[in-house]
Amino acid sequence: MPVWLEWIIAISGLIVLLPVYGIIALCVVIETKGPVLYRAIRIGYGESRFEMLKFRTMDHHADKNGPPITTRNDPRITRVGRWLRKNKLDELPQLINIIRGEMKFVGPRPEDPGIIEKYSEKEKRIFQFKPGITSPASLRYRDEENQISQESWEQVYLKEILPKKIEMDLKYMKNATVWSDFKIMFQTVFKAEQKVTF
């Protein structure tokens, strides 16, 4: 999708959704102490670091009390956070990342630097593409946290799930079009079931 079109959609979405942002922010503040936004350090295009924005869905200091990914029945997630995650509303602040030029609507989900260190050279090809808010792999593994226990997250995520996600997104990104991107965005918003054929 052209950069100018990404900007137009992101800026328009940001303006239209301002009231929603305000309501979510209020809910986060009322339930727990700490900042409204979670500023996650992620690795993007060309292996560059950037600050990915999300509405905070976990207890403050959650990074120090568990793995770098969410696991099944993760005790760090707040009640409001669980609802935000279920409806993918925690990702809304990433419209700002798109406006900054750090992300796209559709692209491989950016990972934590600690996880990137374990990538093979083949898997690092994913950094040829700008990360996105959603992707075919994000749809396929929409509820991946339910497959991962806190005790075995490294084995399950790093050895089983992550390689499949990278392979799926690489295949998609090499053949992506504006229309295929809109299809992925539509399916993300409306939680459509998808059989990946890319």
In a domain, 197, yes or no: no
Task: State the DSSP H helix or E strand holding residue 106, giving kind and residue range, or none if neither.
Answer: strand 104-106
pLDDT in tens, 90-126: 999 999 999 999 999 999 999 999 899 889 899 999 9
- Checking phi first, is residue 152 left (phi over 0); if not, alpha (psi -120 to 50) or beta? alpha
In a domain, 198, yes or no: no
CB within 8 A of 112, min separation 6: which ones? 40, 41, 42, 43, 68, 69
Report the Cα 14 to chain-centroid distance in Å: 17
Cβ atoms within 10 Å of 155's Cβ, excluding its own: 11
In a domain, 195, yes or no: no
CA distance 154 to 198: 27
**Taking the CA atoms of the chain, what radius of gyration do you get in angstroms?**
16
In a domain, 196, yes or no: no
pLDDT in tens, 129-155: 999 999 999 998 887 777 777 677 777
In a domain, 182, yes or no: yes
pLDDT in tens, 42-80: 999 999 999 999 999 988 777 777 777 787 778 888 999
The predicted model scores a pTM of 0.88
| Number of domains the chain contains | 1
Range of the domain at 176: 3-189
Cβ atoms within 10 Å of 179's Cβ, excluding its own: 9
